[in-house]
Amino acid sequence: MVPPRPCVHLEWPGKGPDPADPGPTPALEVARPGHPACMLIQGDNLHALRALRARAPSSFALVYLDPPFFTKRQHHLVRRQLDRASGEIIRGVVPAFDDRWEGLDQYLSALRARLVVARDLVTPDGSLVVHVDPKTSHYVKVLGDEVFGPDCFASEIIWRYRRWPSKTPNFQRVHDVLLRYVRDATVAPRFRQLYEPLAPSTIATWGDRRQRAVVDDLGRRRRSSTVEEATPGTPLGDVWEIGIVAPVARERTGYPTQKPEALLSRLLEACTHPGDLVLDPCAGSGTTLVVATKLGRRVVGIDESAAALEITRRRLRGLGVHPLEERVVFRTRALAG
Ligand SMILES: C[S@@+](CC[C@H](N)C(=O)[O-])C[C@H]1O[C@@H](n2cnc3c(N)ncnc32)[C@H](O)[C@@H]1O
């Protein structure tokens, strides 16, 4: 594996040295037996990532990291329950996760520590996708170049969605940013080409048959010819129009920042094969675990929020899956006589 070569670095107050080896390595122990192809770890993801690195380095074809977005607020989960006595639906609100920070420097330090360890978990042909928003994506991109090496930057995917307009003297923010890094730029990446439908204007001009370029003796494209075979569409671009999880959607759990299954399906189908291992260190409501299970991938999710894990378990139970549950432990070495 080629180590990242020095490149432009991002500096911030209190950045500190490379956090790759911060003290004793934690371990994992089984808290509840279940299905080993689907694993759930409760605890701080930095400890859990380090424990996984000791157990299974370079094993995950895809790490999808959807951290808190530096919103500077506490996020709540909205629960709706039937009150048996009155027959009414009662709406309850419980804390889900805390996204308050002392400042951007603390946020970036926390993210960097996790990126450094998560990188070691990716297979040589695998990738890591970090999901952020435009408030921090420019910092995270430089940070990603630093941790992986600039040659490992693979794509910036813009997830464009529609939502209820907010009152703001600015353009509406209607996109998130997903930055994809490959583990090793010298290895052919694990990638399956996906397609999107042809534009109506393309179909009107060229029809729905596959086009083949006709080149001259010097290899220059001169014209296209149409072959009999139907076209699969146009290779998928890096701007994805996918709806957010609507309030009335069946998949909606009430967990704040829940991502749509369609987004994760696309990512997993492009970056992994059936049977591959997928890791989500910020599992939240368990969208990645659900999608991975449906697509026949093996998956590990980590979260420190009890509310998140409860929802994830419930969603997985709906698929007939009871995940193997683990927790992080620190073993203290017994003192010699
Ligand atoms: C943006 S949400 C993830 C949402 C998820 N992708 C979904 O579809 O529901 C971020 C999650 O990271 C978790 N988290 C934040 N810091 C953590 C930490 N240090 N260790 C473990 N989990 C953490 C939060 O509890 C929260 O559930």
- Up-side HSE of residue 82: CA atoms within 13 Å toward CB? 2
pLDDT at position 9 is 87
Using the mean position of ligand 1's atoms as its centre, give its distance from the Cα of residue 151 in Å: 28
Element (H, E) at 302: strand 298-303
Q: What is the 3-state composition of the chain as percent helix, strand, coil, each rounded to the nearest 5? A: 25, 35, 45
Angle between helices 287-294 and 261-271 (to 10 degrees): 50
Q: Is 254 left (phi over 0), alpha (psi -120 to 50) or beta?
A: left
Sequential pLDDT tens for the chain (337 residues) = 666 666 888 999 888 877 666 678 899 999 999 999 999 999 999 999 999 999 999 999 999 999 999 999 999 998 877 888 888 888 888 999 999 999 999 999 999 999 999 999 999 999 999 999 999 999 999 999 999 999 999 999 999 999 888 899 999 999 999 999 999 999 999 999 999 988 888 777 777 777 777 788 888 877 666 666 778 889 999 999 999 999 889 999 999 999 999 999 999 999 999 999 999 999 999 999 999 999 999 999 999 999 999 999 999 999 999 999 999 998 765 554 4
Element (H, E) at 221: strand 221-230
Residue nearest atom 13 of ligand 1, based on CA coordinates: 282
pLDDT at position 337 is 40
Using the mean position of ligand 1's atoms as its centre, give its distance from the Cα of residue 48 in Å: 13
Beta bridge partners of 40: 301, 325
* Ligand 1 probe mutation, 135, 136, 304, 313, most atoms within 8 A of CB: 304
How does DSSP classify residue 150?
G
Residue nearest atom 3 of ligand 1, based on CA coordinates: 284
Predicted TM-score (pTM) of this structure: 0.91
Architecture of the CATH domain 27-194+236-329: 3-Layer(aba) Sandwich (3.40)
Using the mean position of ligand 1's atoms as its centre, give its distance from the Cα of residue 66 in Å: 7
Using the mean position of ligand 1's atoms as its centre, give its distance from the Cα of residue 210 in Å: 43
Domain map of the chain by residue range?
A: 27-194+236-329, 197-235
pLDDT at position 1 is 64
CA distance 147 to 119: 8
Longest dimension (CA), the chain: 84
Using the mean position of ligand 1's atoms as its centre, give its distance from the Cα of residue 288 in Å: 12
pLDDT at position 177 is 98
For residue 224, the tally of other CB atoms under 10 A from its CB is 12
Are 157 and 93 within 8 A, CB to CB?
no
Are 148 and 180 within 8 A, CB to CB?
no
Which atom number of ligand 1 is nearest to the Cα of residue 67?
10
Which atom number of ligand 1 is nearest to the Cα of residue 110?
19
Using the mean position of ligand 1's atoms as its centre, give its distance from the Cα of residue 40 in Å: 13
Which atom number of ligand 1 is nearest to the Cα of residue 255?
9
SS3 38: strand
pLDDT at position 336 is 46
Residue nearest atom 5 of ligand 1, based on CA coordinates: 284
Tell me the C-alpha to C-alpha distance, in Å, between residue 140 and each of 14, 22, 63, 78, 205: 17, 22, 16, 30, 42
pLDDT at position 231 is 83
